[in-house]
Structure 1
Amino acid sequence: MIKAVIFDMDGVLVDSEPLWQEAEKLIFSQVGIQLTTSMCTETMGMRIDEVVKYRHEKQPWPGKSLKDIESEILDEMETLITLKGEAMEGVGYILNFFQRKNIRLALASSSYMRLINTVIKKLNLENSFEVTHSGEFEEKGKPDPAIYISTLNRLNLNANQVFAIEDSYNGLLAAKAANLKTVVMPEESVWQESKYDMADLKIKSLLEFSEDHFNLLSKKKIG
């Protein structure tokens, strides 16, 4: 029986993946790294400090520290979310769907708490989630499962009672590694990639999620 749903944030609740790309392209260009969209997609779902470390290992830059770059990207993201942040299609529908069933809701995001709080305020979601957890408080970010394991512990539920909704492959790997049932909502440019087929359900919009899908996930046993 499903008792809770854990939402990723970026690309699931808020249409922020294009904003992450905009921020990363801008800040990394200032140290001589010209990111392409496919390069940004490669690190989608990862924690920002790990993205910066990954880029530095591939192409070291002089001058600014990794922490400086991380901070500048976060500052830019906070500005972009405040100015341009919009809810993903179907957010109101899906939250109401689960609330009517008295399903507990949690949010587990690789984004730092300052950005989670910015999104929650921007989308007026202050009273939507019983548990809100950031990957910044874990030793490792997604695709490591720690963020999901910690969220499960805070909910005091086991994996068979919960499913996760993700958009990125790194997030999907994290949820699967935590032994969770998974719904994935890849962005259009990567929708056809077979690696997303490991999810229990693949949808293009939150509006697609139905009673039949809920019942299917409820009956599915993991492990």
Structure 2
Amino acid sequence: MPGSRTSMPGSRTSMPGSGLAAQGPAAVLFDMDGTLVDTEHLWLHAERLTMERIGGTWTTADQQHCLGGPLERVVAYMTERGDPAMVTGLHTGGVEAFLLETMESLLLAETLDWQPGARALVCEVVERGIPTALVTASWRRLIDAVHVSITGDLGFEPFTVIVGGDEVPQSKPHPAPYLQAAALLGVSPADCLVIEDSPTGVASGLAAGCRVIAV
């Protein structure tokens, strides 16, 4: 990750989809947070710090409610539960900017771990020459922090294209992110395999017409 040398330890090849069939999909589209890398604890911490800043509280139930959704939805959910005066008192950018800055700082300070089997699956897909995409609701500045860690560990670029939540007209659960990834790769969504970990992400992949594996 920027400013540090980050090592992402290898993990078990237990993720569904490892050991792809001889004739695999035209492309494999990976979610990021919670699917490839373990960032959920960082999101929980960033969300709690943000809610404390605006006079509210944040529980694991709140996190689960927002899991996999677009940043705008999370920010709206937080704003409704914060102290209006404290929300108004935030610097330029409000709750959204504070949450992004907090999460980015946590990502830059943390050694990220692969989710079980994720590293092996990514390597297998790339070795087979199958095009790949990283498709996430996270915004580009957060993707960049995670991406440097992933590529630094692997020693190569594993993603043919990357689609962030701030780069599509509508984020997950809308099909737009996966439709855009398929279009950038020049393949039919029906020929793509999506790897996801949240109901929101699964709904997005299915709505796009992709085959989906939930992990």
Same fold at TM > 0.5: yes
- Provide closer, same or farther for how the CA distance between residues 89 and 29 of structure 1 changes in structure 2, counting only shifts above 3 A: same
Work out the percentage of aligned pairs sharing the same amino acid.
30
TM-aligned CA deviation for residue 87 of structure 1: 2.1
Instruction: Quote the residue 1:95 is aligned against.
Output: 122
Structure 1 residue identity aligned to 2:185: L
Deviation at 1:35, TM superposition (A): 1.0
Q: Structure 2: where are the runs of 5+ without partners?
A: 1-23
Q: Is the 8 A contact 1:45 1:142 kept in 2?
A: yes
RMSD: 1.8
Task: Give a deviation string over 1:175-196, Cα, whole Å, max 9, x none.
Answer: 11111110111xxxxxxxxxxx
Matched residue, 1:139: 169
User: Amino acid of the residue matched to residue 54 of structure 2?
Assistant: V
How many residue pairs align between the two structures? 185
Q: Which has the higher helix share?
A: 1
Deviation, 1:167, is 0.8
1:61 aligned partner: 84
Note the C-alpha offset of 1:48: 1.6
Specify the code of the residue in structure 2 equivalent to 1:95: V
Pairing 1:184–2:214 present: yes
1:108 aligns with 2:135: yes
**Alpha-carbon distance between aligned partners in 1 of 2:73 and 2:195, rounded to the nearest angstrom:** 22
Determine whether 1:5 maps to 2:32: no
Structure 1 equivalent of residue 194 of structure 2? 164
Against the structure 1 CA distance between its residues 93 and 152, is the aligned structure 2 distance closer, same or farther, given a 3 Å change threshold? same
**Tell me, which stretches of 5 or more residues in structure 1 are unaligned?**
186-223
* TM-score, normalised via structure 2 length: 0.80
Aligned partner (choices 143, 149, 160) of residue 130 of structure 1: 160
Please report the TM-score for the alignment, with normalisation by the length of structure 1.
0.77
Task: State the distance in 2 between where 1:154 and 1:59 align.
Answer: 39
1:75 to 95, 101, 115: 101
